[in-house]
């Protein structure tokens, strides 16, 4: 009889502890990991600051972990960051992948572990997603549309048959590929000749060296169309070094502060603002909706606006 009472007491204790534990878990705030590309790039620093500001304003709703790689091309390090977040058991990962294909498999492992995955900034490759069986919504702008708008500003100042060059982003970066296509759309519509299109890997120094070689090889070139502002800064410098300021147009993409200064000085013709400070926030808010079960994993387009020196 005594043993039976002890057994009943233990069962009640286990149930009480279990219920209490569940209640505590339900009360915990979800943890969201923001994993970005180069934190050395102003665009991504602005993105991180926007996310941290949003987290402070909504501190009761979620915890935020901000991660990023120093070198935008260090894909393996970004894979490691995702693995660390899986090991820490975060509830959601909001990621701007450095490579549209290479990060898919590790994000699939995250999803298999019950983690919500939201893709921002640079879209995952659709074939890689399908092959991996991963459903990760993309929250971000239409880069092709944005780049076409930027390219059209240059096209209005050029004549049919004029020669231009494109400085591309890193290979396997979907957003870089879309921006190249957008520039091509604008040039094709204006019947302007693209004499070369090469990657400068998003970087200023590489863009400067590439732009100098293009200007040497094509001294009659009329414009350099750059897939981000960091490369546009290098291109502007190359134009100045060649003594061709005002003779070769330069456009960029991202609307970072250094580019805004170049716009004011008339050294940069146009760029595109995809609202870096809000881009990660859009992804975080979407992740929260998914965690609350209110949203199915569907893509969501965010704003991108044309910025010209006229507007500044």
Distances (CA, A) of 185 to 144, 188, 195: 9, 5, 15
What is the reported pLDDT for 15? Answer: 43
- The pTM for the full model equals 0.80
**Spatial contact of 255 and 66, defined as CB atoms under 8 Å apart:** no
Q: Do 69 and 77 form a contact (C-beta atoms < 8 A)?
A: yes
Distance (Å, whole) CA 161 – CA 171: 28
Quote the pLDDT of residue 38: 77
Please give the C-alpha separations between residue 261 and each of 44, 130, 149, 242, in angstroms, as whole numbers: 18, 42, 20, 21
Q: Residue 129's pLDDT is what?
A: 95
DSSP code string of 51-87: HHHHHHHTTTT-EEEEEE-SSTT-HHHHHHHHHHHHH
pLDDT in tens, 179-220: 999 999 999 999 999 999 999 999 999 999 999 999 999 999
What is the CB neighbour count within 10 angstroms for residue 203?
A: 24
pLDDT (0 to 100) of residue 16: 40
Q: CA separation (Å) from 18 to 5, 14, 307?
A: 20, 6, 57
Task: Report pLDDT for 73.
Answer: 78
Q: What is the pLDDT of residue 298?
A: 86
Q: How many CB atoms are closer than 10 A to CB 184?
A: 18
The string of pLDDT tens digits covering residues 29-42 is 999 999 998 777 78
Residues of the chain with pLDDT under 70: 1-27, 294-295, 309-312
Spell out a b/e string for 89-122, using b for 16 or more CB atoms within 10 Å of the CB, else e.
Answer: ebbbbbbbbbbbbbbbebbbebbeeebbbbbbbb
Residue 43: the pLDDT is 84
């Amino acid at each position: 009889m005594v043993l039976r009472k002890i057994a009943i007491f233990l069962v009640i204790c286990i149930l009480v502890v279990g219920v209490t534990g569940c209640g505590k878990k339900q009360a915990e705030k979800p943890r969201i990991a923001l994993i970005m590309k180069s934190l050395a790039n102003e665009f991504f620093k602005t993105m991180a600051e926007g996310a941290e500001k949003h987290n402070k304003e909504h501190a009761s709703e979620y915890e935020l972990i901000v991660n990023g790689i120093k070198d935008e091309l260090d894909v393996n390090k970004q894979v490691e960051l995702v693995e660390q977040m899986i090991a820490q058991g975060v509830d959601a990962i909001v990621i701007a992948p450095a490579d549209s294909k290479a990060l898919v498999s590790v994000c699939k492992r995250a999803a298999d572990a019950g983690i919500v995955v939201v893709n921002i900034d640079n879209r995952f490759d659709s074939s890689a997603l399908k092959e991996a069986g991963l459903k990760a919504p993309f929250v971000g702008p239409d880069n092709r549309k944005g780049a076409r708008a930027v390219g059209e500003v240059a096209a209005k100042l050029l004549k049919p048959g004029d020669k231009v060059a494109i400085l591309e982003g890193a290979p396997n970066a979907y957003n870089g590929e879309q921006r190249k296509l957008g520039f091509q759309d604008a040039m094709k519509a204006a019947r302007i000749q693209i004499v070369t299109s090469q990657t400068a890997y998003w970087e200023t120094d590489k863009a400067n060296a590439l732009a100098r070689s293009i200007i040497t090889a094509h001294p009659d070139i009329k414009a350099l169309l750059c897939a981000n502002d960091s490369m546009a800064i290098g291109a502007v410098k190359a134009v100045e070094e060649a003594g061709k300021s005002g003779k070769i147009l330069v456009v960029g993409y991202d609307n970072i502060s250094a580019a805004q200064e170049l716009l004011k000085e008339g050294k940069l013709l146009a760029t595109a603002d995809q609202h870096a400070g809000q881009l990660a926030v859009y992804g975080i808010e979407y992740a929260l909706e998914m965690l609350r079960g209110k949203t199915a994993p569907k893509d969501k387009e965010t704003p991108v606006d044309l910025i010209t020196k006229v507007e500044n």
